[in-house]
Structure 1
C-alpha cells in the first residue's frame, strides 16, 4: 500500500531542484528534436532530399568515435574489449532497434498524413510505460497516468490547431505510412527503455559508445542497400551537407543528454518532454516556412508542461534496479574486469576499507 501524504507533501516536488533539472533538460532535448525536424523538413521541401539512413549515419559514426575513444582512455584496450565480450549482444540488439526506429518514423512521413504521424508518434509513451512496468518493475500510481493523459491531451490540442489551420497534408499511402509510424514509435519505446536500463547499470560512455558502434555498421549496410543514390546527391550538394551537419549536431547532443534524462527521470518523462517540440517547431517555422501562430499553441504548451508537473505530484516511481551511483560504479567495474563475483559485497567493503586506510596514510 502507498503511504497517505498531505497536500503539502505531494507538492513538495516544486521545491526540489531535481524536478527543475529534469524539466529544463527535457526542454533542451525537445529543442534538439525540433532542430532535427526543421532540418529534415527543409531538406525535403527545398531539396527533395529524403534519406533517413544517410542522415543518421554521420550521427552514429560521430558518437561511436567520441565515446569509444573516451572508453578506451578510461578503461584501456582490455576493458574496452571486455565490454564487447560481456555485453556486446545486448548493445547489438539495441543499436539495431534504434536504427530501424529512426528509419521507419522518418519514412512514414513520406506516405501518411502529418496528422496521423503526429498522433501515432505519441504511441511511444504508453509503450515506454508498459515496458518499464515489465522489465524495470516500476509501479505507477494513478496520478502518473493522469499526468501522461494530460500531456498527451496537450499534444492533441496542437494537432487540432493544425487541422483547423489546414496544415494536415494528404496521405500518399495511409495504411503503409501508419504502419511504418506505429512500428517506428514502438521501436523507439524499446530503444528508450533499453537505454535507460543500461544507463542505470553502466557508465554513460559505455552505453552511448557501444550501441552507436553497432548502429554505425548496421546503418552503413542499410545505406548501401537502400540509399546509394541519395548518398551520392548528398555528397555533391554543399547546402544539403550543411543541413545534414546541423542535423548531426542536434542529434549528437540529444543522444549524449538522453541517458542523463533516463537517470534523473525516466524514459516516460523523456517522451513526455519531447511533446513540446511541435510548439518550438512552430516558432522556427514562422521564419523558415511561413507558419503563423494560433492561440491554441501556447495554451497547449502550458498543458503539456502541466501534465509533466502532475506526473511529479506523488514521488515519481523508481525502478527496482535503482540508478547509477558510486557503489554501482564499483560493482560494475569489478564485474567487468573479473566477471561475476560470489563475494562481491565483501570485496566492495574491503575496497572501501583499503581506500580509507590509504587516505589516512
Structure 2
C-alpha cells in the first residue's frame, strides 16, 4: 500500500519542475458569462445568463454542505446547553470524544491506503504541521467555550465573526487568493444578515449579563483568530493531501493534546459531573454532530473554500430558532426570517463573479510551493 504515498511524493517532485501551472482549461470551463452594459435589454439578458450560470451542481452542493455544517453547529450549541443545565460542564473533555472518533475512523483507513511504513513516513515528514493544526483547533474550541462563560451573547456573536477576515487573510498568505469586489460584497451582506440576527436577539431580550466582559471578549477574539487560521490551514492541507490523511492526523494529535489538557484541567470535574443516560445521550449527539461537521468541512473547502465555510455558519442562529421553537418554546421574531434570506443572498453574491472551481484559482505570481499544491489539487 506504500505505493500510494510514493506516487504522491513523485508527483509533487514532478510538479516542482514546472515553473508555471497551466490552469487555462480550468479558467475557460468555469468563467462566468460577461455582463453587457451596452443597452438595457443586453444588460438584462446578460445578467440573467450570469444568474443561471451560478446554479451549477457544484454550487448547489456547496450551498447545501454549508447549511449542513451550520446545522451541525446549532446542534452542538443546543446539546452543550442541555449538558450544562444537567450539571455536566466539561468543555475539554466534551471535545475529546470528537477527536478520538476522528482518530479511530480515519487513521486506520490512512494506514490501509499508505501501508504502515508509508503512514509512518508521512507522520515523520508532516506530523509537526498537523500537530500545530490540531493544537490551534483544540485551543480555539476551548477558548470560545470559555468566552461564553464570561462575556455576553452580543459580544460572542459579533466577535465570533472575526474568524472570517482572519480566514481570508490566511487564504491569501497560503494561496495568494485574489478576491473580487463581489466576493467582499457577499461577505459584507452575510455579516449584515448576522447583524439582523443579533438585533433580533437583543429585541427579544435573549442577552445575559457579562461576568467579566474584558476577559470573555479577549477569549473570543483569540478563539476566533485560531478558528480562522485553522480553517484556512486545513483548506491548504486538503488541497494537496487526501482528506482522510488530514482529518485522521487532526484526530490523532487532537486526541493527544485534548486528552492531556482535559486530564490537567478537568480531572476533578469528571468525578463530580452527572453521568447518566441523559447526559451520555446529549454527549453522543454532540459528538455525532461535530463528527459530521469535521468530515463535511474539508469537502466544502475543496468544493468552494474555507471562507465560504465561515460565512455559511452565519445561518446557524436561524436554525437555533427552529430548535428553540420545539425544545424551549421560543416565540419567533419576524426579523429572523429576512435575516436568514439576507445571509443566503450574500452566499449567492459571493459566487456572482467567481465559480466554486475558481475559489482555489492560482495567482500567477504565487510562490512555487503554492503552484505545486494547486497542480496536486487538479489531479
With the shorter chain as reference, the TM-score category is 0.7 to 0.9
In 1, Cα distance between equivalents of 2:200 and 2:275: 39
Aligned match for 1:318, one of 346, 360, 366: 360
Alignment pair present for 1:31 and 2:71: yes
Structure 2 matches for 1:174-193, cutoff 5 A?
Answer: 174-193=213-232
Change (3 A) 1:217 1:132: same
Structure 2 matches for 1:103-122, cutoff 5 A?
Answer: 103-122=142-161
Aligned match for 2:130, one of 91, 98, 101: 91
Q: Per the alignment, in what secondary structure is the counterpart of residue 11 of structure 1?
A: helix
- TM (norm. structure 2) is 0.82
In 2, Cα distance between equivalents of 1:15 and 1:141: 19
In the other structure, the counterpart of 2:164 is: 125
In the other structure, the counterpart of 1:277 is: 316
Superposition RMSD in Å:
2.1
In the other structure, the counterpart of 2:306 is: 267
Change (3 A) 1:329 1:185: closer
Alignment pair present for 1:40 and 2:69: no
Deviation of the 1:218 alpha carbon? 0.4
Q: Per the alignment, in what secondary structure is the counterpart of residue 140 of structure 2?
A: helix
In 1, Cα distance between equivalents of 2:239 and 2:67: 22
In 2, Cα distance between equivalents of 1:30 and 1:284: 13
In 1, Cα distance between equivalents of 2:71 and 2:373: 26
Deviation of the 1:134 alpha carbon? 1.8
Mark the runs of 5 or more structure 2 residues left unpaired by the alignment.
1-30, 36-46, 363-369
Q: Deviations over 1:29-57 (max 9, x none)?
A: 1111111010011112x213322101100
Aligned match for 1:134, one of 156, 164, 173: 173
Kept after mapping to 2: 8 A contact 1:63/1:208: yes
Kept after mapping to 2: 8 A contact 1:26/1:261: yes
Aligned match for 2:339, one of 300, 307, 310: 300
In 1, Cα distance between equivalents of 2:82 and 2:88: 9
Deviation of the 1:14 alpha carbon? 2.8
Deviation of the 1:219 alpha carbon? 0.2
Kept after mapping to 1: 8 A contact 2:33/2:49: no
In the other structure, the counterpart of 1:19 is: 59
In the other structure, the counterpart of 1:5 is: 34
In 1, Cα distance between equivalents of 2:288 and 2:32: 45
Mark the runs of 5 or more structure 1 residues left unpaired by the alignment.
332-361
Kept after mapping to 1: 8 A contact 2:92/2:262: yes
In the other structure, the counterpart of 1:159 is: 198
Q: Deviations over 1:102-123 (max 9, x none)?
A: 0000111000001110111111
- TM (norm. structure 1) is 0.86
Alignment pair present for 1:172 and 2:175: no
Alignment pair present for 1:214 and 2:253: yes
Change (3 A) 1:31 1:22: same
Kept after mapping to 1: 8 A contact 2:88/2:274: no
In the other structure, the counterpart of 2:189 is: 150
Change (3 A) 1:13 1:182: farther
Deviation of the 1:4 alpha carbon? 9.0
In the other structure, the counterpart of 1:353 is: none
Give the total of aligned pairs.
Answer: 328
In 2, Cα distance between equivalents of 1:322 and 1:256: 26
Kept after mapping to 2: 8 A contact 1:121/1:181: yes
